[in-house]
């Protein structure tokens, strides 16, 4: 192996990192989430769109509002996680572009005046940022439990507004007892990569 | 800072890493791409869908076929990159699910018999994997230049088939002269994260 990233970091972020299904009681603090964000905010997005928005579902009352919108198989996982993050895409991200793309502030109107274009861009770029967030949770030494098994309309109505659409929900914490199954296989290089 | 990931790795992957717009002539080998894939294949996807497919555009003939489909502002960047990767989503990823999700092989038919469901899942999960790929290019000590400024239908027709849709194109190499502008601002934590 000749990767520049040292083997311990490779293990922490990818090789040994796993999607946790159970968690310990150890709290995840707002300060930890701030450190994660302050790392992963640098991940690239198209035109620096940065459409990811995060709702931390922390209070027992909010947790109780979230549970019914998860598919049943995900409810116990989320109940055991000390912190749950709803990751959403802001379809009105273009309002921030004059600040985020200062060398061409007109990009807001030149490229993003159409809602359908914004929606498509927000979906792609918030997904990229969701992946950076998962990597960031692992960089903090925590386990992430990303889930797409939930009712998007229900979660949107409960925790977001009409401009923000949910991308995924991530359970966050220290892995608990029997936190995961054996790792599933991955596709071989030859199944994924072709050269022309 | 209390992140578990060491500061050098934080810099390599996020803090100091930048989207390169120019590259040196130093080749990027297939072996390097293999090492990148063998790291980032472990990044999580829904049901281990793993829909990302990669076309390495390497030959001068293929490079010439790609150029006209890029927006004009991206052509010089791609011309200077020693290797260019077309990242695509496989809408027929479910064919691999019995191997990828062996403890519930029926998932292929139970959840993914509808094309619209597959298309939505492939778009999200290939985007997650595209972000892991960008992180992986950086983990290899290389600079990534991800681009969404291209004609998707043209790139699909030229390099893919009807089951595979392009997600992004990534220039890969060592950063060249004046490889980037000063870094653009990022949103503050308070603009992105709320707690309930």
Strand pairing class (A143-147; A83-90) = unpaired
User: What's the CATH superfamily of B12-176?
Assistant: NADH Oxidase (3.40.109.10)
Chain B hits for A131, CB-CB cut-off 8 Å, are 43, 127-132, 135
Q: Is the pLDDT of residue B152 over 70?
A: yes
Contact B97, B105 (CB under 8 A): yes
Q: Flag if A96 and B41 touch (Cβ within 8 Å).
A: no
Chain A hits for B58, CB-CB cut-off 8 Å, are 195-196
Give the SS3 label for residue B53: strand
- What is residue B2's predicted lDDT score, i.e. its pLDDT? 86
Average pLDDT of span A139-145 = 98
Q: Is the pLDDT of residue A138 over 90?
A: yes
Q: Flag if A193 and B101 touch (Cβ within 8 Å).
A: no
The number of C-beta contacts closer than 8 angstroms across A and B is 233
Average pLDDT of span B66-70 = 98
Q: pLDDT above 90 covers what percent of chain A? A: 98
Contact B167, B138 (CB under 8 A): no
- What is residue A35's predicted lDDT score, i.e. its pLDDT? 98
Q: Is the pLDDT of residue A1 over 90?
A: no
Chain A hits for B55, CB-CB cut-off 8 Å, are 193-196
pLDDT tens-digit readout, B2-57: 899 999 999 999 999 999 999 999 999 999 999 999 999 999 999 999 999 999 99
Determine phi and psi for B25, rounding to 5 degrees. Answer: -80, -10
Q: Would you give the distance in Å from CA A57 to the centre of its chain?
A: 14
pTM score, whole prediction: 0.98
pLDDT tens-digit readout, A48-104: 999 999 999 999 999 999 999 999 999 999 999 999 999 999 999 999 999 999 999
Contact A164, A87 (CB under 8 A): no
Chain B hits for A167, CB-CB cut-off 8 Å, are 124
The verdict on B60 touching A (C-beta cutoff 8 Å) is no
Give every CB contact of residue B58 below 8 A, 6+ residues apart in sequence: A195, A196, B83, B84
- CA-based nearest distance B66→chain A, Å: 11
**Calpha distance A194→B113 (Å, rounded):** 27
Complex confidence, ipTM: 0.98
Average pLDDT of span A18-41 = 97
Searching chain B, which residue's CA lies closest to the CA of residue A45?
B146
**Calpha distance B16→B11 (Å, rounded):** 5
Give the SS3 label for residue B132: helix
**Calpha distance B196→A59 (Å, rounded):** 6
**Calpha distance B192→A85 (Å, rounded):** 12
Secondary structure (DSSP) of A26-83: ----HHHHHHHHHHHTTS--GGG---EEEEEE-SHHHHHHHGGGB-HHHHHHHHH-SE
Residues 157-186 of chain B whose Cβ lies under 8 A from any Cβ of chain A: 159, 167-168, 181, 183-186
pLDDT tens-digit readout, A166-184: 999 999 999 999 999 899 9
The verdict on A67 touching B (C-beta cutoff 8 Å) is no
Q: How confident is the model at residue B120 (pLDDT cuts 50, 70, 90)?
A: very high
Contact B107, B47 (CB under 8 A): yes
Burial class (CB in 10 A: 0-12, 13-18, 19+), B60: exposed
Domain boundaries, chain B: 12-176
Average pLDDT of span A99-126 = 96
Q: Is the pLDDT of residue A28 over 80?
A: yes
- What is residue A2's predicted lDDT score, i.e. its pLDDT? 86
CA atoms within 13 A on the CB side of B23: 25
Distances B68 to A175, B73, B154 between C-alpha atoms, Å: 49, 11, 9
**Calpha distance A185→B42 (Å, rounded):** 9
Residue B89, number of CB atoms within 10 A of its CB: 26
Q: Is the pLDDT of residue B1 over 80?
A: no
- What is residue B84's predicted lDDT score, i.e. its pLDDT? 98
DSSP state of A15: I
Q: Residues, chain A, total?
A: 196
- CA-based nearest distance B155→chain A, Å: 13
Distances A193 to A186, B136, B143 between C-alpha atoms, Å: 13, 15, 19
Average pLDDT of span B122-138 = 98
Q: Is the pLDDT of residue A108 over 90?
A: yes
Q: pLDDT above 70 covers what percent of chain A? A: 99
């Amino acid at each position: 192996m000749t990767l520049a990233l040292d083997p311990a970091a490779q293990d922490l972020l990818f090789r040994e990192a796993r999607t946790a299904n159970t968690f310990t009681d150890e709290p995840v603090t707002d300060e930890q989430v701030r450190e994660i964000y302050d790392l992963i905010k640098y991940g690239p997005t198209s035109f620096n769109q940065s459409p990811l928005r995060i709702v931390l579902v922390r209070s027992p009352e909010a947790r109780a509002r979230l549970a019914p919108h998860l598919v049943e198989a995900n409810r116990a996982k989320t109940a055991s996680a000390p912190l749950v993050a709803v990751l959403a895409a802001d379809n009105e991200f273009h309002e921030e572009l004059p600040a985020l793309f200062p060398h061409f502030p007109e990009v807001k109107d030149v490229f993003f005046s159409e809602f359908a274009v914004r929606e498509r861009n927000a979906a792609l770029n918030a997904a990229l940022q969701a992946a950076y967030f998962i990597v960031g949770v692992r960089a903090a030494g925590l386990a992430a439990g990303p889930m797409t098994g939930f009712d998007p309309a229900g979660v949107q109505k409960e925790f977001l507004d009409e401009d923000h659409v949910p991308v995924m929900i991530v359970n966050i914490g220290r892995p608990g007892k029997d936190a995961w199954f054996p790792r599933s296989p991955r596709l071989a290089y030859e199944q994924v990569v072709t050269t022309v």
